[in-house]
Amino acid sequence: MFNCSTRLSLLPREKSRDGMSEPRMIGNGPEEVKAGLAGHLSRLWRYGLVLTGRRDTAEDLVQATCVRALERAHQFEPGTRLDRWLFTILRSIWLNEVRSRRIRTGEGIVDAETFLTFNGAEQIEEGVLLQQVLREMQSLPETQREAIFLVYVEGLAYREAAAVLDIPIGTIMSRLAAARTTLGRLNADAAPLSHWPEAKHP
């Protein structure tokens, strides 16, 4: 069961997540924010879509995030990762301002993954993989799905994801461990030998 080839595949990945690979502008915060926003719109929209499950709401969230970021541009620390800062703003607007109102007014929340599975993934050819992954992610609590998105999809380091979600790093680790236990069991039940290609890391 624990043969050599399996063991090799379990070697930890070497990775560099210190963010130095992304070009940065060193300068004053407001200018960096204004110049950098345009490069992150698609990723902000995707995060909005994953959080809200709705394309129109995701667009609204990106706009509200841009407005807020420009308004608070002087608070951005030049040289730090702009995308992380923007994620934090977007999530905060969603949780504190949009979602809470929706719940109060009884509108409820569309399940993001259900939405993506039935209204997004099927529209694209490459969506088969997305559908497979999303179907499995349905079995996870929302908090674990969000940790997975930030760390494994967006490539945030644990401490960066913890900062975006405003939780201790240990909580990120336990959410990821719990998620991988669940998904690992699904894998073991479905096929003794993994049929999943190794994930690529940023």
Name which of 19 and 155 has its Cβ closer to other proteins: 155
Question: Does 4 participate in binding other proteins (rule CB under 8 A)?
Answer: no
Lay out the site mask for other proteins across 48-87 (x = CB under 8 A, - = otherwise).
Answer: -xx----xxx-xx-xxx-xxxxxxxxx-------------
Cα(120)–Cα(113) distance, integer angstroms: 9
Tell me: does residue 147 bind other proteins (CB under 8 A): no
In whole angstroms, how close is the CB of 61 to other proteins at the nearest point?
A: 9
Residue 60 CB coordination number (10 Å): 16
C-alpha–C-alpha distance, residues 49 and 167, integer Å: 22
What number of residues does the chain have?
Answer: 202
Q: Which of residues 24, 102, 109, 143 is near other proteins by CB under 8 A?
A: 102
- All residues at 6 or more sequence positions from 9 whose CB lies less than 8 Å from its CB, including other chains: 198
Contact call for residue 110 and other proteins (CB under 8 A): no
Say whether residue 119 binds other proteins (CB under 8 A): no
* Interface with other proteins in residues 150-169 (CB under 8 A): 151-153, 155, 157-158, 169
Query: 79: helix, coil or strand?
Result: coil
Cα–Cα distance, 161 to 92 (Å, whole number) = 14
Query: Which of 80, 114, 139, 181 touches other proteins (CB under 8 A)?
Result: 181
Place of tokens 């992610």: 137
